[in-house]
Structure 1
Amino acid sequence: MRPALQGSLFDAGAPVALRPLSGACRTELGRGAWIDVLPGWLTGADTLFDRLVADVPWHADRRRMYDRVVDVPRLLGFYDEHDELPHPVLAQARSALSAHYAGELGEPFRTAGLCYYRDGRDSVAWHGDTIGRGGTEDTMVAIVSVGAPRALLLRPRDSPGGTVRHALGHGDLIVMGGSCQRTWEHAVPKTNRPVGPRISIQFRPRGVR
């Protein structure tokens, strides 16, 4: 039996809405990479979590790993740039991010990918979003998390260095920018601790996966 979401006391009864992006705090990671973090950017995150669980057409994926095909340890959803998003606040979030980062990104966020981590057994391995333009160009990936916090780890690619850790959930935002997808990797590791479910919503520009 998978654990149910235990809502945040600070979020109880709050409307599903966005706070100003001006409070985001930037950390320079080095080698042209940076992250912006804004805890609690989205209010009413527990309400949104319940809506997404019910309304997104989640699907399980299978991928080849070496000599066998294995289950992807999370459920997935994807909305292309012309698809209607599953909640109006996600369209508002995409527009707000596009406006806020227009001067640095130079183009709008277009797509929305969703990952549903049902419990600590669900995860994503170390990777960068290097399919498409992210493998050769500076870009941005913005992630909004709803549900119970899970650890998002970042580490330098192909060089020694410390690991950066952020526990993201309940409406938190992280934006990975500059060379981050090429020079750093990120992961959501498995955990044996009892953790609740989490959904991440990843906004990307066109041609970045």
Structure 2
Amino acid sequence: MAVHLQASLFEQSESGIRLGPLDGVRRTLLSDGAWLDLLPGWLSGASDLFDHLATAVPWQAERRVMYDSEVQVPRLLAHYRAGSALPHPVLEEARAALSARYAAELGEPFATAGLCYYRDGWDSVAWHGDRNGRGAYRDTMVAILSVGAPRDLALRPRRPGPSPVRLPLGHGDLVVMGGSCQRTWEHAVPKTARAVGPRISIQFRPHGVR
């Protein structure tokens, strides 16, 4: 299954960076209690927000140990703990709006924000689920707001059966992975040899999910 997003033709530069309503969110049921909510173009002025984040965020180039060797993480990273000021007021608004929208289902607010800067098609993130916390044993949510050029967010089930999903996210698009998605599905941003522009994703998570 493939879901294709169409970016807005106009970034509404006169009105600046702002969020739209969340009542246009559309849900796709996956399998084993997992689901995706999708809202293309939730953020207007996404290009301006990308430019701000690219220069204002204290990006870190990290290294991690894999298979007894240390490798460069193929993207730049930044993390904001619960209670930390986010790098633009609209991200504070986004976190509050998402917390209000999903309060009944989630039962708690979105608390932290992780940012990833994919500089080109060679930057990526491997297949994984956010299972290094409560997502390993209970339903939760991860909301992702994307600015910059679209990159595919790929999803696949951990057990055979359902078809994979590819979401080309950018230009202020929102996706929320919910239910059992972190336990029963995996997601990735694959490398691509295509000429693609840079993208920044902002991931909002509840406390204890990572």
In 1, Cα distance between the equivalents of 2:19 and 2:162? 34
Deviations 1:136-179 (A, max 9, x none): 11000000000000000000013343110110001000000000
Aligned-partner residue type, residue 60 of structure 1: A
Q: Name structure 1 gaps, 5 residues minimum.
A: 1-6
SS class of match (1:110) = strand
SS class of match (1:173) = strand
In 1, Cα distance between the equivalents of 2:19 and 2:90? 8
Aligned to 1:10: 10
CA RMSD of aligned residues (A): 1.2
Deviations 1:164-196 (A, max 9, x none): 011000100000000000000000000000000
In 1, Cα distance between the equivalents of 2:19 and 2:187? 25
| Comparing 158-167 and 33-42, the one that deviates more | 158-167
Aligned to 2:117: 116
In the alignment, is residue 26 of structure 1 matched against residue 27 of structure 2? yes
SS class of match (1:84) = coil
Given that residues 59 and 77 in structure 2 are in contact (C-alpha distance below 8 angstroms), is that contact kept between their aligned partners in structure 1? yes
Given that residues 8 and 46 in structure 1 are in contact (C-alpha distance below 8 angstroms), is that contact kept between their aligned partners in structure 2? no
Aligned to 1:153: 154
TM-score, scaled relative to structure 1: 0.95
Aligned to 2:54: 53
Which runs of structure 2 are paired with 1:113-192 in the superposition (5 Å)? 113-192=114-193
In 2, Cα distance between the equivalents of 1:105 and 1:12? 32
In 2, Cα distance between the equivalents of 1:112 and 1:42? 17
Deviations 1:80-133 (A, max 9, x none): 011110000000000000000000000000000000000000000000000110
In the alignment, is residue 96 of structure 1 matched against residue 97 of structure 2? yes
Aligned to 1:3: none
In 1, Cα distance between the equivalents of 2:72 and 2:162? 31
Given that residues 152 and 166 in structure 1 are in contact (C-alpha distance below 8 angstroms), is that contact kept between their aligned partners in structure 2? yes
The verdict on how the C-alpha distance between 1:74 and 1:115 changes in structure 2, with shifts beyond 3 A counting, is same
SS class of match (2:156) = strand
Given that residues 129 and 135 in structure 1 are in contact (C-alpha distance below 8 angstroms), is that contact kept between their aligned partners in structure 2? yes
| Comparing 9-18 and 88-97, the one that deviates more | 9-18
Which runs of structure 2 are paired with 1:72-87 in the superposition (5 Å)? 72-87=73-88
Given that residues 31 and 162 in structure 2 are in contact (C-alpha distance below 8 angstroms), is that contact kept between their aligned partners in structure 1? no
Q: Name structure 2 gaps, 5 residues minimum.
A: 1-6
Per-residue deviation at 1:205? 0.1
Aligned to 1:4: none
Q: Matched residues, percent identical?
A: 68
In 1, Cα distance between the equivalents of 2:53 and 2:32? 36
- Number of aligned residue pairs: give it: 203
Structure 1 moving runs of 4+ over 4 Å: none
